[in-house]
Amino acid sequence: MEQYRAILAFLLLGFLCGALYDGVRILRVLGGLASYSAAGRAFREKRLPLIGPVYLRPRRCTRWLRSCQIAAGDIFFCLTVSVLLSVCLFDFGYGILRWFYFVSCTAGFLAYRAGPGRLVMFFSETIAFGVRVFLKYLYWLCRLPFLFAARALRAAGLLLRQKLLVPIALHHARRRRIAYTRRIQNNLLSTLQSMQS
C-alpha cells in the first residue's frame, strides 16, 4: 500500500514538473525569447480600456543576453525540481532510492507533456498576452494612488504659490522698489545740497 501511494505521489510530482517547465517556457514567450504557437498571433497588439495599447512583441536583445536569460530559467527549473524530488524522496523513501520513484516521476512528466502540455503550449502566446495585460492593469492600479497624490500636491503647491508666496514676493518687491526710490531721492537731495553750498 505504501508503494502505491509513493508511485501516485511521484506521478503527481512528474505532472507538477511538467507544469513548472511549461511555466518557464511561457516566461520565455512573455520575455520575447521564444514563440511556440500560432494561436496568439491575433494578440500582437490590442487597445484596452484605461491602459491603452498592449503589445506582445519580442524584445531585441543580444545573443549573449538571450542565452543568459534562457540559462537562468533552466537553472531555476532544475533547482526547483531537484528540491521537490529530494523532499519527496526523503518523505516517501526515507532516503532510500528506488527505481520506480524515478520511473513514475518520468511517466508523470511525459503524461503531462503528451496531454495538457500540448494544449498549454499551443495557447502559450495567448496566456503570455493575458499575463502581460494583467500585469499592466496591476501596474496601472498600483500607480493610481500616486498619480492622485501628485495631482493633489501640485494643486496644493499652486494654491500655496498663488495665495501665499506670490503676495509675499510682490510685497517684498514693492518694499525694495520703495527703498530704491528713497535712496535715489536722498542721493539727489544730497547732491543738490552740496551744489547749493
List pLDDT tens digits, range 19-54.
998 888 877 777 766 655 544 455 555 666 666 666
Q: What is the distance between the alpha carbons of residues 54 and 118, in angstroms, rounded to a whole number?
A: 26
% residues pLDDT > 70 (the chain): 84
Instruction: Give the pLDDT of residue 119.
Output: 84
CB burial readout 159-185, b (16+ within 10 A) else e: eeeeeeeeeeeeeeeeeeeeeeeeeee
Instruction: Give the pLDDT of residue 75.
Output: 92
Q: What is the distance between the alpha carbons of residues 75 and 95, in angstroms, rounded to a whole number?
A: 24
Check residues 185 and 31 and name the one with the higher pLDDT: 185
At 98, is the secondary structure helix, strand, or coil? coil
Instruction: Give the pLDDT of residue 80.
Output: 92
CB 93 within 8 A of CB 10: no
Domain ranges within the chain, ordered by starting residue: 2-153
Instruction: Give the pLDDT of residue 83.
Output: 92
CB 54 within 8 A of CB 133: yes
List pLDDT tens digits, range 87-132.
888 888 777 778 888 899 889 999 998 888 888 878 777 777 777 7
